[in-house]
Chain A
Amino acid sequence: MELKLNELTKQFGQKKAVDRMSITMKPGVYGMLGANGAGKTTLMRMICGVLNPTSGDIFLDGNSAENLGEDYRKLLGYLPQDFGYYPEFTAQEFMCYVAALKGIPKQEAKIRTKELLGVVSLSEVSNKKIRTFSGGMKQRLGIAQAVLNDPKILVLDEPTAGLDPKERVHFRNLIADFSKDKIIILSTHIVSDVEYIADTILIIKDGKLIINSPAENITHEMDRKVWKCVVPKEKATEISNKFCLGNLHHGDDDAVILRILSDEIPIDGAINEEPTLEDLYLYHFQSDIAKYRGIR
């Protein structure tokens, strides 16, 4: 199975939300990282056929997804970023409804529903109206409905939003178990969500795919760019404004320990450290982060 995006573009007025994105995906977990507004949601909507691209194509094993229609959609599982639930439905009814939409036979739907509601720890509330659910419960129900049809292509838009740390871990395990022979694309702006489960990291910035790399060697480009600097307190602000700052914490005495991301050695005495995905992410979004801090 091969899912291929060819020069996929979506333009809203003058703004190119997704800009000529090309990528070929084989079974595996794709972690899509990008700041808010990078174009992740727009891209996923196009992959799931609910938004038409301005130009470009999506191919599944060489056939255009648009032409495949139902045959393409039956392989899909999709958790949209913010999506509507029917407040008057119970969790079970909602699952059975989605199962009917996905063409799962009634008996099988019942079994799958029961099983999946168990997996996302909603068994006890399966007969409660969704209206009474918390954000995290709704999100878990959303994940459960996405995998109902055992999709070959699973698209999850910010799946961990609203989940507490324990639920996040649980979610990661769920995906790891599920991922065999499937293309799983999940977006997030939280690095740790994908750090452990993604086989491939995609980094999107301003609608463009800037990094597409296997997770194992993703940090190679950051080798020798991550620096640990110990500086006196009064100099800390000045230095952190000048460079891309990965982290900051107060050491003993008056010293502050800075993690600086820089191509060159930032100050004398700085020493190289092992890079992480977070470093890479911050490094690429430093201008945005700087903007966020109100600098430049």
Chain B
Amino acid sequence: MNDLFKYEFMKIARKRMSIIVVFASMFLTLLLFIMPVKNYISLERDGSQVNGVAAIQLEKEYAKELAGTLTEERVAKDIREYQALFSNRDNVIKNGNKVNLTDEIYAYYVLPHYSYLKMIDEAFVEPQITDTGLTVIRDMQLEDYAAFYIARAEKVEKYFTMDYSDWTYSNQEKDFWNTKNSHVEMPYEYGYHAGWKSLLQCLELLIVPIIAICICVAPVFAGEYQSGADSVILSTRYGKSKLIKAKISATFLFALIVFSINVLLSVGIQLATFGMDGWNLPLQILNVTVPYNLSLLEATIVCIANLYLVLIGMVAFTLFLSAKMKTSFVVLVVDILVILLPVFMGLSGTNGILNHILMLFPYMSAQPVFPADYTSYFSYPLPGLTLDIITMRIIVYAVLSVVCIPFVGRAFKRHQVQ
């Protein structure tokens, strides 16, 4: 191993600040990813609550009852069974003109399969409406088959024709999403998938180690200016050449190691406790209308890859700032502002273009696009080409890295000791 590289790596990794920040972020990752396990709740059929690992076990049993292919016939049968609960007088309580299942019946028949029924229900619900009471499948008129996948397609079509305050879908975008949707495999497979569901919800928390890593690498160049070591370094033979390469590669190695440990911790905790089951089930069982043809495992990999790109882009950007600015503190302030800008500004109600830009900032880019309708159909219509948000993020962060790196060297070489 190259000596300069080794020493540069040591400089980053041995700083007290780095050690504290890295361990604090790992501890936070542990905590944040254990919580969903510890707080996992299931209800027994008698309505009593179970927590944690036992709750996961129970959820597995419930999901087993539902495993299988969601053919139209099967969906119709499940809806009919649900509707049948209401036809028995003993099962319901009338409250004015509202009809509700009794607590016992609800706990026994509905709650164990709630997220499944909710998923079915969602295909039939109007866009932007949440039907927590599952009233749509209760009240619908069933033919021989449920028309579940047709309902899904119609709902998607409505996404494009609806009035949004900030965006209007162009024909180009509609075509793009319709093509993408045509690749989604139907009918869906259903089964236990709690681990992947939890993971996909939690992965955005890995923005914490990304921020931690930026804090650690902020002094890579600025720290030399601050301490006054710059004059010695820059006057040496390789101070303006090999050293820069060594610093950049040591920084990236450090960032990748720290981040990978966090990824392994987070994914490890959740999959070890929830189990890997469901890895090959389609993403659509989490959100019926998602237009991406991905399994849960693939979707998770996409999210993690996306996080790695955000990390690499932000590290490159931080290095650039570090070479340009006089102190690591200024580097950090700019970094934090950039990462959290969408949080400070908030998404706009009316300005779609601004929102399309804000969605590319690190904090937003760390979030998975799949769970929400808003982000799962988020696209960037360029002349002659539509990009989905995932591709757009990949491009933005790849370009950011590629653009920043050459400027890092330039800024450091030109640094004036004064």
Enumerate chain A interface residues (CB-CB to B < 8 A): 12, 45, 48-52, 69-70, 73-74, 76, 78, 80, 82-86, 88-89, 93, 96-98, 100-103, 106, 145, 149
Contacts and interface: CB of A to CB of B under 8 A. Distances in A.
Interface stretch (B109-117, B180-188, B228-236): B228-236
Given A45-B231, A96-B7, A101 B416 contact: no
B197 interface: no
A101 B417 contact: no
A103 B415 CA distance: 21
Given A45-B418, A86-B11, A101 B231 contact: no
Interface stretch (B208-216, B237-245, B361-369): B237-245
B3 A106 contact: yes
A145 B240 CA distance: 18
Interface in B386-418: 415-418
B3 A50 contact: no
A84 B236 contact: no
B238 A70 contact: yes
Contact of A103 (B16, B227, B238): B238
Majority SS at the chain A contact face: loop
Contacts of A100: 3-4, 7, 238
Contacts of A45: 231, 417-418
B224 interface: yes
25 contacts: A12-B418, A45-B417, A49-B234, A50-B230, A50-B415, A50-B417, A52-B416, A70-B241, A73-B235, A73-B240, A78-B231, A78-B235, A80-B228, A82-B228, A83-B227, A83-B231, A84-B229, A85-B227, A88-B11, A89-B11, A96-B7, A100-B4, A100-B7, A101-B4, A102-B237
B74 interface: no
A97 B224 CA distance: 14
Contacts of B236: 73, 76, 98, 101-102
A82 B231 CA distance: 9
A49 B233 CA distance: 11
Interface in B2-47: 3-4, 7, 10-11, 14-16
A133 to B, nearest CB: 14
A51 B228 contact: no
Given A51-B418, A73-B236, A103-B237, 10 more contacts: A45-B418, A49-B234, A70-B237, A84-B230, A88-B14, A88-B16, A93-B10, A101-B4, A102-B236, A102-B238
A83 B228 contact: yes
A145 B229 CA distance: 12
A106 B418 CA distance: 32
Contacts of B237: 70, 73-74, 101-103, 149
A71 to B, nearest CB: 9
B228 A84 contact: yes
The 4 closest A-B pairs by CB, nearest first: A84-B227, A84-B229, A80-B231, A84-B228
Interface residues of B, number: 30
The CB with the most chain B CB atoms within 10 A, among A73, A86, A96, A101, is that of: A101
A89 B8 CA distance: 11
Contacts of B238: 70, 100-103
Contacts of A70: 237-238, 240-241
A83 B230 CA distance: 8
Interface string B248-283: 000000000000000000000000000000000000
Contact of B234 (A12, A50, A97, A145): A50
A86 B235 contact: no
Given A96-B7, A101-B243, A83 B232 contact: yes
A149 B7 CA distance: 18
A50 B243 contact: no
Given A45-B231, A76-B236, A103-B238, A88 B15 contact: yes
Contacts of A52: 416
A102 B237 CA distance: 5
B417 A51 contact: yes
A73 B239 contact: yes
A102 B243 CA distance: 10
Contact of B7 (A78, A82, A97, A103): A97
A16 B3 CA distance: 41
B7 to A, nearest CB: 4
A242 B31 CA distance: 78
A45 B417 CA distance: 7
Contacts of A96: 3, 7
Nearest to B18: A88
Given A50-B417, A51-B418, A145 B232 contact: yes
A102 B242 CA distance: 10
Nearest to B13: A88
Contacts of B417: 45, 50-51, 80
Nearest to A12: B418
Contacts of A76: 235-236
B239 to A, nearest CB: 6
Contacts of B15: 88
Contacts of A50: 230-231, 234-235, 415-417
Contacts of A89: 10-11
Contacts of B416: 50-52
Interface in B63-78: none
Contacts of A12: 418
B231 to A, nearest CB: 4
A286 B55 CA distance: 88
Contacts of B16: 88
A194 to B, nearest CB: 22
A102 B4 CA distance: 10
A233 B229 CA distance: 52
A88 B16 CA distance: 9
B7 A80 contact: no
Nearest to B5: A100
Contacts of A51: 416-418
B306 to A, nearest CB: 34
A87 to B, nearest CB: 9
